[in-house]
Structure 1
Amino acid sequence: MIIDINSDMGEGFGPYRIADDEALMSQVSSANVACGYHAGDPVIMDRTIRMALEHGVDLGAHVSFPDRMGFGRRKIDMDLDELQAHVLYQLGALGALAGRAGHRITHMNPHGALGNLASSDPAVAHAVARATLDFDPEIAFLVLPGSQLEQAALSMGGRAIRLFLADRGYLADGQLAPRSQAGAVIHDPEQVVARVMRVIRNQQIDTVDGQIIAMPVQSILVHSDTAGAVDLARRLRDGITAQGGTITPLSRQN
């Protein structure tokens, strides 16, 4: 069993920090770095890239709508050409800093409202995939299983990595439950670890309305701003290896 553990990182701004990225970096195999739109700035991006390189962690672009005040969780209406430009802009910024540090972007994972739309809206999914592959056709996509982004990426010859969000509730259609809905965010670490182990073992998950759906995944996401994220990532890592699993960065998975 080969599995990746990834986390969204670099989500501070200036002197403000939202998570202990330094400690978390030692527990994950891939990092999704904020590109300055919902969080992050050039200095934080540069520092996080270099930490990832030092720890042998894959570097991903965590692109979003330009919504720093709302942490990228608010939808911004824009035409698809404009959206592609915004995605490409963020990839270019992260890629430039990565190149100087001697690292490279291996994957992308859209954040917040953009991620939700890319998962459910075919047009948005196509725009995000097109911009990403125009930047680098080798970049993999972190996707919800069966999502529109997965379909768009594969239809363009891209590589899709199926992702499970450790502390988020799911709907019966495989989409994330809205944060306003009961059960959308799971706070009990014991419950989070148990459901991740079930996903890895049985490739199934209970939805917020009590249904059981298939959840075949290759990567587990631990949100860095979740309380106790470092300990949670460590417990997941220990649980996976105890079951004979191997924690492997996305770029080293077939």
Structure 2
Amino acid sequence: MKMIDLNCDMGEAYGSYPMPNDEKLMDYISSANIACGFHAGDPAVMQKTVALAIKKGVAIGAHPGLPDLQGFGRREMKITANEAYQLTLYQIGALNAFVNAAGGKLHHVKPHGALYNMAAKDPVLAKAIVQAVYDFDPNLILYALAGSKMIVEAEKNGLATASEVFADRSYQDDGLLTPRSADNAIVANKEDAVNQVLGFSLKQEVKSVNGNRIAVRAETVCLHGDGVQAVAFAKLIAERLKNEGIVIKAPAI
């Protein structure tokens, strides 16, 4: 039986209620990465999003980012390894407080935005983030880009991982994501994106921007929840996966 996890970044809002799509998206995903206040989110949104995930039976993950609200955590910052460790540990703890209070259990950690991309290439930052997750709870799962330095460092440390792929991002011949600055970074056609997810799930491969089939370890698929058609897209992917006999399920701890 083939299984795949569908994850989505959530709680990336401010005020008394989560992002508009969050509740509906949770009907189709198996993992939620909840913002911890540095790049987005606040205590009110964290509390409500955690409660929503528990109600929907969705695995809860901490989504720590760089301290950059204005740039939504997508701008690179020069930080030391210890700073990466500190900000990761701090944010996991913040979200976990709400998870514990709601009677839930933290399942995973997935870094956000620039922090995620920096650590995917930098083994020093990757090691610091891995250590923060491990020190908080060695039973947590680290969600990280397939083939990245974070996956390598986590495996060295004995931390469980989920190799992440993206439904709507294009890939280069080396198996890495096309930079967002490139015109072809996004897979805009919905059917192409669905087929890409099926390729990940059924064959553990992806077609590069140059038309080559690249082997990729795909254990969790990221769906972006901030688009106008995000809910419809998530529903379509979930339906197509189920039609192929693929079970949508979060990785077991």
- Return the TM-score normalized by structure 2: 0.95
Q: Percent identity?
A: 39
Deviations 1:90-123 (A, max 9, x none): 0010011110001121111111111111111111
Partner of 2:172: 171
Contact 1:119 1:175 in 2 (8 A): no
Contact 1:12 1:44 in 2 (8 A): yes
RMSD: 1.5
SS in 2 for 1:102: coil
Match of 2:248, as an amino acid? I
Contact 2:17 2:48 in 1 (8 A): no
Match of 2:102, as an amino acid? A
Partner of 2:204: 203
Deviation at 1:172, TM superposition (A): 2.6
Deviation at 1:16, TM superposition (A): 8.0
Between 82-91 and 16-25, report the one with greater CA deviation. 16-25
- Is 1:110 equivalent to 2:116 in the alignment? no
Match of 1:72, as an amino acid? G
Partner of 2:223: 222
Partner of 2:82: 81
Partner of 2:147: 146
Q: Give unpaired runs (5+ residues) of structure 2.
A: none
Partner of 1:158: 159
Deviation at 1:201, TM superposition (A): 1.8
Cα distance in 2 between the residues matched to 1:83 and 1:204: 32
SS in 2 for 1:115: helix
Deviation at 1:178, TM superposition (A): 1.5
Cα distance in 1 between the residues matched to 2:162 and 2:50: 21
Partner of 1:249: 250
Partner of 2:241: 240
Deviation at 1:229, TM superposition (A): 1.1
Contact 2:51 2:102 in 1 (8 A): yes
Contact 1:172 1:213 in 2 (8 A): yes
Cα distance in 2 between the residues matched to 1:168 and 1:101: 34
SS in 2 for 1:250: coil
Cα distance in 2 between the residues matched to 1:166 and 1:118: 21
SS in 1 for 2:221: strand
Cα distance in 2 between the residues matched to 1:73 and 1:18: 18
SS in 2 for 1:224: coil
Match of 2:34, as an amino acid? V
Q: Give unpaired runs (5+ residues) of structure 1.
A: none
SS in 1 for 2:131: helix
SS in 2 for 1:118: helix
Contact 1:29 1:247 in 2 (8 A): yes
Partner of 2:72: 71
Report the CA distance shift for 1:19/1:148 in structure 2 as closer, same or farther (over 3 A).
farther
SS in 2 for 1:130: helix
Match of 1:57, as an amino acid? V
Deviations 1:49-85 (A, max 9, x none): 0000011110011111111111111011111111111
Cα distance in 2 between the residues matched to 1:16 and 1:43: 7
Deviation at 1:173, TM superposition (A): 2.6
Match of 2:88, as an amino acid? V
Contact 2:16 2:45 in 1 (8 A): no
Report the CA distance shift for 1:77/1:155 in structure 2 as closer, same or farther (over 3 A).
same
Deviation at 1:15, TM superposition (A): 5.9
Deviation at 1:199, TM superposition (A): 1.8
Partner of 1:231: 232
